[in-house]
Structure 1
Amino acid sequence: MTDKITLFKCPTCSAPTQYETEKYPHFPFCCERCKMIDLGAWAAEDHKIEGDETGFDDLFSEDGTL
């Protein structure tokens, strides 16, 4: 029986990577550079998670309770 290796694409550069901690310690990224590029994109708000327009403060009443 042969072991099947599943390859994934790096989210930053699309290079092949796999879930194997010794060979690819930065999974799902192929390298530290791609990992840092993605982190910088989140910090610059290039990546956003869609949500409703309700702000956090709108969840509380005037006295600070839910």
Structure 2
Amino acid sequence: MIVKCPICAKSVEWSAELSPYRPFCSKKCQLTDLGEWASEERTIPAAKQSPDASPDAVDIEEIEAMLSQQPDDFFKH
């Protein structure tokens, strides 16, 4: 299957052997995308939570605690 790189729109073969950075065409495009998410240039639209939101809502500290428990190599792929 051929897909378009989300950053540069270059055609990319969707296979682990031929495209280790899929859906990106290269490590450069993969890191560009990561940087855009980290700087919040890219976001997923979500409804604003009201101040009286449910106590079951996950907060950022809880997410960070879960991520800190991942093995060191979790983010290196």
TM-score of Structure 1 vs Structure 2, range by shorter chain: 0.7 to 0.9
* TM-score w.r.t. length of structure 1: 0.74
The count of aligned residue pairs is: 56
Letter in 1 for 2:47: D
Q: Does 1:51 align with 2:46?
A: yes
Aligned to 1:38: 33
Evaluate the alpha carbon distance shift between residue 32 and residue 52 of structure 1 in structure 2; reply closer, same or farther with a 3 A threshold.
same
For structure 1, list consecutive stretches of 5 or more residues without a partner in the other structure: 1-5, 62-66
For structure 2, list consecutive stretches of 5 or more residues without a partner in the other structure: 57-77
Runs of 4+ with >4 A deviation: none
* TM-score w.r.t. length of structure 2: 0.64
> Within 5 Å, which residues of 2 pair with 1:1-66?
6-54=1-49, 58-60=53-55
User: Which has more radius of gyration?
Assistant: 1
